[in-house]
Amino acid sequence: MASKYDRIADDLRRKIRNGELSPGARLSAETTLMEQYKVSLPTMRSALAVLRAEGLIESRHGHGTYVRELRQPVWRTNERYQWEKNRVRADQNERRKTGATEHDTGLTVDDLEFAASYDDSETADESLAKAFGVPIGTRLLRRTYQTRSRRENSPLSIAESYLLYDMVKTNPDLLDEENEPWPGGTQHQLSTIGIELDRIVDEITARPPRGQEAETLDVPTGVSLIMLRKISIDTQDRVVEVSDIIMPGDRYELRYTTPLERWS
């Protein structure tokens, strides 16, 4: 331990933490830093690589190296699920006004760009088969959603939602991506085929982005991904939807409220 680049990284990390280098500030050029710290360029660069991996700095080619700014977090709460359920029974005008993402972020429909695409040729792999409790190979409807803020380039999140094809085909409207965005969202879509949700189970984990993901989500190295699998279970205890949602960890915070039964 205590290699040269480690000590340099420690020094810069300290300067960032105590505000000597504030968010948005530009660091000196690599060649300048290399002279300041009296090391070679590759060594200086590996010191910066450490901080980049920690998400503390960001380098822009031909531009400079900057202290990362904290992005305002978007909240995703589990209260949205009950809110969505209540909205299913509201009239269509009310449903059209806002979606669940707006509920979370406080942004209006106009701020958000929404893209959906459907694919009805998907079949269940091992993981999905287990989640749904069906055999591997069962036909699914896969729906891909991208939400992005109009003010920024990077998507807020990417979601893949899976429905059992045989279950939803009874309402052909549900198979057509042209009907997106569907006022009232998935819970309302399911209600058109007589499904009422009993509970939603969220499974959460986190890992670094891999290869292509970093590009499609446009996250720099140094940002973790929050992986959320959302499993919707109806009043007959059937798994009716499985959704895999990917969120950049520097943009999102999840909030779950767990009520407890009273003693008295």
Partner DNA sequence: GAGTGGTCTAGACCACTGT
Partner DNA sequence: CAGTGGTCTAGACCACTCC
Residue 183 preceded by cis peptide, ω within 30: no
- What is the C-alpha separation between 97 and 102, in angstroms, rounded? 10
Candidates 89, 93, 102, 103; CA nearest to 196 is 89
Q: Does 255 bind a second copy (CB under 8 A)?
A: yes
**Phi and psi based region of residue 50 (left: phi greater than 0; alpha: psi -120 to 50; beta: remaining):** alpha
13: amino acid identity, one letter = R
Binder of a second copy out of 33, 95, 222, 240 (CB under 8 A):
222
Binder of a second copy out of 7, 43, 58, 81 (CB under 8 A):
81
> Could you tell me the two tokens for 249?
């960890």
Q: Does 211 bind DNA (CB under 7 A)?
A: no
> Could you tell me the two tokens for 218?
């446009």
Task: Compute CA distances 167 → 98, 109, 139, 230, whole Å.
Answer: 27, 30, 10, 18
Binder of DNA out of 12, 21, 39, 107 (CB under 7 A):
39
Q: Does 36 bind DNA (CB under 7 A)?
A: no
Q: Does 106 bind a second copy (CB under 8 A)?
A: no
Segment 10 to 29, residues that bind DNA, using CB under 7 A? 27, 29
Binder of a second copy out of 110, 126, 237, 261 (CB under 8 A):
261
Binder of a second copy out of 10, 160, 177, 244 (CB under 8 A):
10
By three-state DSSP, how is residue 129 classified?
helix
Taking CB under 8 A as the binding criterion, the range among 103-111, 123-131, 148-156, 205-213 that sits at the site for a second copy is 205-213
Taking CB under 7 A as the binding criterion, the range among 39-47, 180-188, 190-198, 248-256 that sits at the site for DNA is 39-47
Segment 55 to 74, residues that bind a second copy, using CB under 8 A? 55-56, 73
Q: Of the two residues 118 and 186, which places its CB atom closer to a second copy in the complex? A: 186
**Nearest distance from residue 151's CB to DNA, in Å?**
18
- Residues in contact with DNA by CB under 7 A are 3-6, 27, 29-32, 39-43, 45-46, 59-65
- Residues in contact with a second copy by CB under 8 A are 9-10, 13, 42, 49, 53-56, 73, 78, 81-82, 85, 89, 196-211, 221-226, 235, 249-250, 252-263
